[in-house]
Amino acid sequence: MPNNEELNRQARRTAFLTVALTAALVFGIMVLVSGDWIPGTIIVVATLIGLAEQVPVIRRFCGAGSSRSPQRHKPAH
């Protein structure tokens, strides 16, 4: 099952990177609020670019999970 281990490794990496980028975004916003416009803007823009690159990866993981799940029975109306 090397494929499953690789998928788990990628999922952990993506989760860790997303959490780290979210923390960096909060830090950048705090820097902006404190009045340091140039470093705050650089941090926020770089973080948003990183998060934007993670969206397709997260979407792929979510799409892969839904295709494997069994179909649930919809109740009749």
62 pLDDT tier (thresholds 50, 70, 90):
confident
pLDDT above 60: residue 71: no
pLDDT-derived band at 74 (thresholds 50, 70, 90) equals low
Q: Is the pLDDT of residue 4 over 90?
A: no
Provide the percentage of residues in the chain whose pLDDT is more than 90. 55
Coil vs helix vs strand at 51: helix
- Can you give the pLDDT at residue 44? 95
This prediction's pTM: 0.71
pLDDT band at 57 (very low <50, low <70, confident <90, very high): confident
Q: Which residues contact 27 (CB under 8 A, 6 or more apart)?
A: 43
Token duo for residue 10 = 């990628």
Strands (E), the chain: none
Go through the chain and tell me how many residues it has: 77
The domain spans of the chain are: 2-63
